[in-house]
Structure 1
Amino acid sequence: MEDTDDVPSRPRVLARWLLALVVCTAFFSSAALVGLSAAVRVEEAGQRRADLSGLEFPASAVQAPSAPSGTASSLVLFDDTGEYQQMSQLYGMLAAALGSHFGTPQVHGVSTYAPGEMGAHRGVVYLGTNADQVLPPAFVADVRNGGTPVLWLGANLDELTGLEAQGISWTPADPRPALRVAYEGAELSRPSDAGAPAGITVTDPTRVQVLADTVHDDGSRTPWAVRSGALTYVAEVALDPAGESGDRYLAVCDLFIDLLRPDAPVRHRALLRLEDVNPLSDPEELRRTADALNRAGVPYSFALYPVAVDGLDVEPRRTVRLVERPDVVEAVAHMIQRGGTMVLHGYTHQLGGQRNPDTGGSGADFEFFQVQRAPDGALVYQGPVPGDSPAWATERLRSAITEVTRTGLPRPQVFEFPHYAASAASYEAAAQLFAARYDRPYYLSGGWSAGPMNDFLFAQYAPYVVRDGYGSTVIPENLGFVQGPPIPAVGVGSLQAIVDGARQNLVVRDGVASFFYHPYLGTEGLHWIVDRLQDLGYEFVSPGEL
């Protein structure tokens, strides 16, 4: 076996995935807090109901994309021995989700591979996470035979005897720090704590195509992804972007297209979602934003939660329902008439009478997952909320639907979990009630107990529509959002960060760049992003057009 650094230590794995979740959620809370405090605060007594009579809502009002329906089946094989079996299984789920965009994936441990099994599939993905995994001779023989395209990620290439005949050879990992991956004209980032990529040497350039290079700290380059015959080899598993929108993970997403749909068109589409519309939103602000996007010819979606609850420190603490805010209801109807697709974003966007983890108020807190703050402010994911079950989640989701439809607005068909986090029971309930979700699914290792979270918790984004492990069609969101106010001038949460992420996303030949934006930030920054994404060649579409 090779001596590779591709499998990080347990603390490093945990730190990376916790970082990804902090990136995805910690600053969501701060933005939501600003939005709630900036919202219009009106008295409880409503004098009238919204008048939506005579309105005909377009199909785009609630339209979800079709479920992935490709015919290119894939076989995903993961290492199933050693210390990191749980992590390997989750990597298998992540790879299977990417494969679902093209057809039906099958996933299992590599040890149970049957002779000739890969022949029933368009392509095979092998995830080498354990350098001590013994590969079945039948698997090795079928890969060498070259009858089925194989995408091999990570360790154990040294077990594939006869590599020299294909023009490549395995070498020890390069000790120089690997900072970036150069692919399709872009330099993609790598997590700072990721292990060194495995070594690969091209011995016969006439037989081998170098697809991507590792860029080291001294500017030198070594092969990161190569292709010889039916074998495509990537020097690391690279399914762990740690929340970064411009990670080398995008190269792997594009290599899935090579594997399973090589004739895919070059097409770059963009999605915009307006976030945290709620009963306390400023209706004129919503109208202005909708009108500005409509004038620019930009379709969009908006995420709505129908019940707003004040934080625990607010006296008197109010619960305000959408039906009690006719001006907001009419503004939401106006958004739909101006090209908006409604996305249901929870029931209250908080959880009863507890801080989960911050104020207990809507927009700031989680609703379908229990979270606390560590002394240093980091999020600690505790597990399912008290009383979590499919029945509990279904009842809460149905209550949210009812609060929307009782206003006269159409029933939402797309759902987004608050801060994206939910238990398996809640994810499965959403799959039964909605045609699609619009978030980043969390994958959990094993079941959850009453204690703190298990060893591995992964959040995944994809640059195209996928079906996740819970049975939902998932609309992409892969660029994050703009923070503020004030909007940062540079770095995470800035306008430029969204554009930079979209530019990196261009390496996916048929990919979607998707971000979200809070209406209270005004339209100037929004127009700035839209104009620059269009300059990059992106076409804005509605979720239902994917």
Structure 2
Amino acid sequence: MVGRRSRLALRLLPALLLLAGLFLTLPAGDARARAGEGPPSVLLINQRSPQWPRAAERMGLQVQMLLRHFTPRTVTISPERYAPGMISRYDRVVVVGNDALEPLPPALLRDLERPGRPVMWLGHGLGRLSPGSSGFSAEGPAPGGSLRWVRYCGERYPAAPGEVRRIRVSSPGVRVLASYEGGREPVPYILRGGDLWYVNGLPSSSSAYPDPERDAPLLVLADVLHDFLGVLGHGPRRAVIRLEDVSVHVPPERIIRIAGYLHEHRVPFAVGVIPAQRFEDGSVVELSERPELVRALRYAQERGGTVVLHGYHHTFGSGEDYEFWDERRDAPIAGETHAMYARKLEDGIRILRDNGLEPRLWETPHYAASPLAYRVFSGYFSHAIETRDPVGWLPYPSGPDPYGQTLIPENLGYIAPEEGLTVEDQLARARLLRIVRDGWAVGFYHPASVPPSELERLVEGLRAQGYAFADLRELPAEVRYGYRPGPLERMESWLTSGPWLALMRLDDALEGSLPWWPAVRRAPWSALLPAAAAAALLLRLRGQWRSAGKPLRRGGAG
């Protein structure tokens, strides 16, 4: 028996040695993923630029937030903070070369040249690495002015690249993943040779929202990061529509109509609610003073709406002014304190919960606040739906940001025909965002001022592009405030909305079980009921007239 087991072990030994060799040759990040240790860890080295310090900082933050869509285990340092051997503690390394003249530590360059982990280099300074096994090198400037397109995955998109380099490829094993076109010959934009990935130039967003004429290179980078990090796409492309600036100045019937339409078409949505609107005369009106609006918001919440706390006062009736930033001084509010901002958030959450509304995300009024205010927001809400300077728009959710929140990006803009902002603009941006295999298209709509027909066009257009609407209630969002309404507040909330909502639930149940019920509901009962009552009255009177007109039958002796 022992001899048989020994012979079996000898037969299995070569196979076991082969498996062990394969495991040891896996890249570090892939080995961690197979071991079930979560997403890869990334060291991001962002080079400073004495001439353009703010641009260098913004570029580093933008790359950091792109990486944190895939892994929160992303650590950013400057080259000066690098210590020899530091990259060995990470699965991937990303270097952002912001300045061609600024030196990099020799220890960093030596460690980057050692094989064993994927390295992505963006922008300037690649020539400081020896070509080694990568099979390519960056040479002099390419004629960037003639490059007008970027080609990726068989498609060509408009582009306006900045400074890019000519690339010399010396190995057939180099893969060009994307290239710029328009000159005499294509110029590689993103390529890979061995463990080295190179992004030719520094792609960044050019405006407040994705520009179909310029921003495709940034989206190509956002998509290539899936392959660099070894992370597959996270399901279908998603879309979100947020009803914006909803407060006491919005007609409740408009909210009911829009929520009913979105629910009927299986579209989850978000509602940015201002709980205590301050008007220009200084007066403040809370939601509880408008029970019809509370009922409408409860109706929207039950029909797929995710409630977003959109500030506390939002200052004026238009809902278009700053609350956590001094616009005139372009600076933080004088005398700001943690307590004054915390009180606003706690009162806002309390008002919503007292009225049966549960906030799940935060939205900064006008997307502008001081660093102190952003830290306060992060203490109460794990997720926010907005863009934030200096990073700007993102193509997918990411986090934590520098203040600790996960951001759901707002990247489509809004509809304002009087300002020349149209549904077609939003859909053009959504079409561009499709470059990213798991991109999100998130825009907003003002129910107080824009016709519902515009919203319907947006929904239909996003669906036609293949987007699936995301239900933000499914996010692992956390609201860190323990207040809950007491018995009196719950009773008041039920008296305001409970019976009305019960009728709405009954209507939903009837619609689900009786196919003909929607036709009954849509019937013009306001006209039919009076007509039916009048008809019944006429029939009754007719019967009485006939009875009165009949001759009396006289009885006689037989």
The two structures have a TM-score, normalised by structure 1, of 0.74
The equivalent residue for 2:239 is: 270
What amino acid sits opposite 1:294 in the alignment? H
The equivalent residue for 1:28 is: none
3-state SS of 2:327 partner: strand
Of stretches 95-104 and 259-268 in structure 1, the one that deviates more from structure 2 is 259-268
Give the distance between the partners of 2:394 and 2:142, measured in 1 at CA.
28
Give the distance between the partners of 1:420 and 1:172, measured in 2 at CA.
38
Pair 1:479 & 2:447 matched: no
Residues 134 and 174 of structure 2 are in contact (CA less than 8 Å); yes or no, is this contact kept in structure 1?
no
Residues 133 and 193 of structure 2 are in contact (CA less than 8 Å); yes or no, is this contact kept in structure 1?
no
Distance 1:431 1:501, change over 3 A: same
Larger Rg: 2
Give the distance between the partners of 1:244 and 1:187, measured in 2 at CA.
20
Q: Write the deviation string for residues 430-486 of structure 1: whole angstroms up to 9, x where unpaired.
A: 11111311111224xxxxxxxxxxxxxx534342332211001111222222223x4
Of stretches 414-423 and 512-521 in structure 1, the one that deviates more from structure 2 is 512-521
Q: How far is the alpha carbon of 1:307 from its aligned partner? A: 1.9
Q: How far is the alpha carbon of 1:252 from its aligned partner? A: 2.0
3-state SS of 1:534 partner: helix
The equivalent residue for 2:359 is: 412
Residues 249 and 317 of structure 2 are in contact (CA less than 8 Å); yes or no, is this contact kept in structure 1?
no
Match of 2:305 among 306, 328, 340: 340
Pair 1:527 & 2:456 matched: yes
What amino acid sits opposite 2:284 in the alignment? T
Distance 1:177 1:367, change over 3 A: farther
Match of 1:71 among 18, 25, 39: 39
Distance 1:291 1:361, change over 3 A: closer
Q: How far is the alpha carbon of 1:202 from its aligned partner? A: 4.0
Matches within 5 A, 1:294-443: 294-311=263-280, 318-350=283-315, 361-372=317-328, 382-406=330-354, 408-443=355-390
Give the distance between the partners of 1:476 and 1:331, measured in 2 at CA.
27
Q: How far is the alpha carbon of 1:387 from its aligned partner? A: 2.0
3-state SS of 2:414 partner: coil
Give the distance between the partners of 2:357 and 2:134, measured in 1 at CA.
62
The equivalent residue for 1:50 is: none
What amino acid sits opposite 2:426 in the alignment? I
Residues 238 and 467 of structure 2 are in contact (CA less than 8 Å); yes or no, is this contact kept in structure 1?
yes
Distance 1:325 1:265, change over 3 A: closer
The equivalent residue for 1:495 is: 423
Give the distance between the partners of 2:397 and 2:134, measured in 1 at CA.
36
Residues 298 and 357 of structure 2 are in contact (CA less than 8 Å); yes or no, is this contact kept in structure 1?
no
Of stretches 119-128 and 421-430 in structure 1, the one that deviates more from structure 2 is 119-128
What amino acid sits opposite 2:200 in the alignment? A
Residues 167 and 207 of structure 1 are in contact (CA less than 8 Å); yes or no, is this contact kept in structure 2?
no
Between Structure 1 and Structure 2, the one with more helix by share is: 2
The equivalent residue for 1:88 is: 56
Give the distance between the partners of 1:268 and 1:329, measured in 2 at CA.
33
Residues 184 and 507 of structure 1 are in contact (CA less than 8 Å); yes or no, is this contact kept in structure 2?
no
3-state SS of 1:225 partner: strand
Distance 1:257 1:397, change over 3 A: same
Give the distance between the partners of 2:126 and 2:82, measured in 1 at CA.
17
Give the distance between the partners of 1:202 and 1:209, measured in 2 at CA.
13
Give the distance between the partners of 2:38 and 2:66, measured in 1 at CA.
12
The equivalent residue for 1:199 is: 165
Give the distance between the partners of 2:398 and 2:49, measured in 1 at CA.
31
Give the distance between the partners of 1:537 and 1:175, measured in 2 at CA.
34
Q: How far is the alpha carbon of 1:285 from its aligned partner? A: 0.4
3-state SS of 1:508 partner: coil
3-state SS of 1:521 partner: coil
Give the distance between the partners of 2:121 and 2:232, measured in 1 at CA.
21
Give the distance between the partners of 1:221 and 1:369, measured in 2 at CA.
46
What amino acid sits opposite 1:383 in the alignment? A
Distance 1:386 1:190, change over 3 A: farther
The equivalent residue for 1:125 is: 94
Q: How far is the alpha carbon of 1:239 from its aligned partner? A: 3.1
3-state SS of 2:402 partner: coil
Q: Write the deviation string for residues 16-60 of structure 1: whole angstroms up to 9, x where unpaired.
A: xxxxxxxxxxxxxxxxxxxxxxxxxxxxxxxxxxxxxxxxxxxxx
Q: How far is the alpha carbon of 1:249 from its aligned partner? A: 1.7
Give the distance between the partners of 2:147 and 2:322, measured in 1 at CA.
36
Distance 1:460 1:512, change over 3 A: closer
Task: State percent identity of aligned pairs.
Answer: 30
The equivalent residue for 1:540 is: 469
The equivalent residue for 2:531 is: none
Of stretches 361-370 and 286-295 in structure 1, the one that deviates more from structure 2 is 361-370
The equivalent residue for 1:211 is: 177
Q: How far is the alpha carbon of 1:209 from its aligned partner? A: 1.5
3-state SS of 2:151 partner: strand
Give the distance between the partners of 1:184 and 1:517, measured in 2 at CA.
33
Q: How far is the alpha carbon of 1:220 from its aligned partner? A: 6.0
Matches within 5 A, 1:90-129: 90-103=58-71, 104-129=73-98
3-state SS of 2:298 partner: helix
Give the distance between the partners of 1:117 and 1:206, measured in 2 at CA.
32
Distance 1:220 1:290, change over 3 A: farther
Residues 275 and 303 of structure 1 are in contact (CA less than 8 Å); yes or no, is this contact kept in structure 2?
yes
Gaps (5+ residues) in structure 2?
A: 1-36, 476-558
Residues 70 and 231 of structure 2 are in contact (CA less than 8 Å); yes or no, is this contact kept in structure 1?
no
Distance 1:207 1:138, change over 3 A: farther
What amino acid sits opposite 1:80 in the alignment? R
3-state SS of 1:533 partner: helix
Q: Write the deviation string for residues 495-524 of structure 1: whole angstroms up to 9, x where unpaired.
A: 112111111111211221111111232222
Give the distance between the partners of 1:92 and 1:200, measured in 2 at CA.
24
Give the distance between the partners of 1:386 and 1:423, measured in 2 at CA.
11
Residues 175 and 193 of structure 2 are in contact (CA less than 8 Å); yes or no, is this contact kept in structure 1?
yes
Distance 1:175 1:100, change over 3 A: closer
The equivalent residue for 1:257 is: 226
Give the distance between the partners of 2:434 and 2:235, measured in 1 at CA.
10
The equivalent residue for 2:106 is: 137
What amino acid sits opposite 1:428 in the alignment? R
3-state SS of 1:152 partner: strand
Give the distance between the partners of 2:401 and 2:63, measured in 1 at CA.
10
Pair 1:506 & 2:434 matched: yes
The equivalent residue for 1:152 is: 121
Give the distance between the partners of 2:460 and 2:174, measured in 1 at CA.
40
Of stretches 331-340 and 220-229 in structure 1, the one that deviates more from structure 2 is 220-229
3-state SS of 2:439 partner: strand
Q: How far is the alpha carbon of 1:125 from its aligned partner? A: 1.5
Give the distance between the partners of 1:148 and 1:254, measured in 2 at CA.
20
Residues 225 and 235 of structure 1 are in contact (CA less than 8 Å); yes or no, is this contact kept in structure 2?
yes
Q: How far is the alpha carbon of 1:188 from its aligned partner? A: 4.7
Distance 1:205 1:285, change over 3 A: farther
The equivalent residue for 2:488 is: none
Residues 300 and 542 of structure 1 are in contact (CA less than 8 Å); yes or no, is this contact kept in structure 2?
yes
Residues 82 and 132 of structure 1 are in contact (CA less than 8 Å); yes or no, is this contact kept in structure 2?
no
Residues 243 and 272 of structure 2 are in contact (CA less than 8 Å); yes or no, is this contact kept in structure 1?
yes
